[in-house]
Amino acid sequence: MASFSERAQNVFPAGSNGEFNLPPELSIVIARGEGCRLWDSGDREFLDFSMGWGSVLVGHARPEVVAAVTAQVPNGSNFAYVTEQSLALGEEIVRLSPACEQVRFCASGTEATMYCQRLARAKTGKPKILKFEGAYHGANETGVTSLFPADPPDFPEPDPIAGGLAHKVKRDILVAPYNDLETTQKILAEHGHEIAGVIVEPLQRCTPPEAGFLEGLRAATRAAGILLIFDEVVTGFRLAYGGAQEYYGVVPDLVAYGKALGGGYPIGAFGGPAELMALVREDRLGDPDYMWVASTLGGNPISTAAAGAALGVFRQDGTYERLHGLGETLRAGMRRVLRDRQMTAQVIGDGPLAQIVFSDRPVRDYRSTQRGDGAKGRALMLGLFRRGVFLNPMGTKLYLSLAHDEKVCGELLDRLDDALGDVG
Ligand SMILES: Cc1ncc(COP(=O)(O)O)c(C=O)c1O
């Protein structure tokens, strides 16, 4: 009889549901998870350093989230309308998020960033969006464009790195280098009359913003009548309860959320000032600047109950000290292990995120990440996977959660030391 992994290879392209690119011999099928561990269908245990690509910041099967979901299940799973759970969650997001006076829910981060971009176009009447090279905003056109350009064109030309994108991507998306305010300002000065919004991951992938970068973006976009969009799908609730806005002290016009908000359940949200959000009011249907929003499962009571419980967990004393402390411990440990092995590499990240880039130069943007030895990075990730660390070898960013502790980080560092032996 075919194994679970063989069956997965048959039914799913490359045996996965997207973006894992594991060699078939490493491919597994997951049976269950608890805390920061998961078990495959053969009952092999893995330390999880992917945590559902960061969506399960609370930890797998966190009791508060399980209880909230279990309480809601017998009361119905979707009404495609406001429920007590979505109302309470919306009120809490508006309270915690500096940029949000009003919100709407959807079912994923991809939708949330798409809606923010559309709102920028609807509000300004301008056609273009500027993104940063190497940034991911979900599988929509902007998120994929110039995500991994092999031979990046000159700025601000976009590179549709994948097939199937709309041809207008070439015309309507501009690309700037992250952390390079001067070049970005030049692009804004030249093209600002056509740019509706600038979308940025405040912490791009695993690369923190340099001092003044986000502040400079805020000032330049405001001066040019361009809306600044923070994609907080990763940073939201992870760097601080109020996300990157609170942590870096910069408030955008629009913000997109997803991942950790849902406590592991599907969710997306976007918000901004009430005056901007008014463009989605259905009583404006027919107005030239009205923007269509509809998400069948957005704000469903199961996801919003889970999210309400997750936010309750995040509000507990010491959450962010713990997440930042663990991240620092992990990054410092990685540097120590690399140094002891006499390997030249950069360890990047902030908060509960860490990544190793095999480069002798500091990493500040996509091109400096790309100068790193990607083959070595992938070999290391696969080596860790072989040693029972569940991670995404394409993403290479490691996610910690509230279920991780110093001991688990120590276990990871032992396996890292061992795996580095294979990498050479
Ligand atoms: C910064 C960022 N934005 C948006 C998304 C898309 O979120 P989703 O996969 O929920 O559509 C991701 C997903 O990894 C992300 O990392």
Condensed to tens digits (0 to 9), the pLDDT of residues 194-244 reads 999 999 999 999 999 999 999 999 999 999 999 999 999 999 999 999 999
CATH of domain 4-62+319-423: 3.90.1150.10
Which residues have CB under 8 Å from 270's CB, separation 6+?
A: 103, 104, 106, 112, 113, 115, 116, 119, 254, 255, 256, 257
Q: What pTM did the predictor assign?
A: 0.98
pLDDT of residue 400: 98
Task: Indicate the top mutation candidate among 50, 117, 137 to test ligand 1's pocket, ranked by most ligand atoms within 8 A of CB.
Answer: 137
- Read off the pLDDT of each residue in 186-198 and give the average, rounded to a whole number: 98
Sequence spans of domains, the chain: 4-62+319-423, 76-314
Q: pLDDT band at residue 94, thresholds of 50, 70 and 90?
A: very high
Q: Is 97 in the pocket of ligand 1 (CB under 6 A)?
A: no
pLDDT of residue 49: 98
Looking up tokens 């930042």 gives 324
**Single-letter code of the amino acid located at 293:** V
Q: What are the CA-CA distances from residue 258 to residues 128, 266, 292 (Å)? A: 24, 8, 20
Q: pLDDT band at residue 164, thresholds of 50, 70 and 90?
A: very high
Question: Which atom of ligand 1 is found nearest the CA of 113?
Answer: 4
Q: What are the CA-CA distances from residue 400 to residues 54, 288, 369 (Å)? A: 8, 45, 21
SS3 category, 171: helix
Asked whether 288 and 315 are in contact (CB, 8 A), the reply is no
Q: Is 233 in the pocket of ligand 1 (CB under 6 A)?
A: yes
- Read off the pLDDT of each residue in 323-344 and give the average, rounded to a whole number: 97
How far, in Å, is the centroid of ligand 1 from the Cα of 377? 22
Q: Is the pLDDT of residue 150 over 80?
A: yes
For the sheet containing 353-357, what is the strand order?
346-348, 353-357, 398-399
Q: Is 128 one of the catalytic residues?
A: no
Asked whether 84 and 72 are in contact (CB, 8 A), the reply is no
Other C-beta atoms lying within 10 Å of the C-beta of residue 189: 12
Give the chain's mean pLDDT: 96
pLDDT of residue 304: 98
CA atoms of 113 and 231, how far apart (whole Å)? 7
Q: Is the pLDDT of residue 263 over 80?
A: yes
Q: Is 340 one of the catalytic residues?
A: no
| Residue range 347-356, pLDDT digits in tens | 999 999 999 9
Q: What is the DSSP letter of 208?
A: P
Evaluate the omega torsion of the peptide bond into residue 156 and state whether it is cis, within 30 degrees of 0: yes
Q: Is 231 one of the catalytic residues?
A: yes
Which CATH class for the 76-314 domain?
Answer: alpha beta
For residue 324, how far is the Cα from the chain centroid? 17
The CA R_g of the chain, rounded to the nearest whole Å, is 21
Q: What is the DSSP letter of 261?
A: G
pLDDT of residue 122: 97
Q: Is the pLDDT of residue 17 over 90?
A: no
Q: Is the pLDDT of residue 19 over 80?
A: no
Q: Is 258 in the pocket of ligand 1 (CB under 6 A)?
A: yes
DSSP characters over 374-408: HHHHHHHHHHHHHTTEE--TTT--EE--TT--HHH
| Residue range 44-69, pLDDT digits in tens | 999 999 999 999 999 999 999 999 99
Question: Which atom of ligand 1 is found nearest the CA of 110?
Answer: 11
pLDDT of residue 31: 98
| Residue range 331-340, pLDDT digits in tens | 999 999 999 9
How far, in Å, is the centroid of ligand 1 from the Cα of 109? 5
| Residue range 112-146, pLDDT digits in tens | 999 999 999 999 999 999 999 999 999 999 999 99
Q: Is the pLDDT of residue 395 over 80?
A: no
Task: Indicate the top mutation candidate among 234, 295, 399 to test ligand 1's pocket, ranked by most ligand atoms within 8 A of CB.
Answer: 234
Q: Is 132 in the pocket of ligand 1 (CB under 6 A)?
A: no
Q: Is 141 in the pocket of ligand 1 (CB under 6 A)?
A: no
* Tokens matching residue 58: 């609370």
Q: pLDDT band at residue 394, thresholds of 50, 70 and 90?
A: confident
Asked whether 396 and 347 are in contact (CB, 8 A), the reply is no
Say what percent of the chain tops pLDDT 70. 100
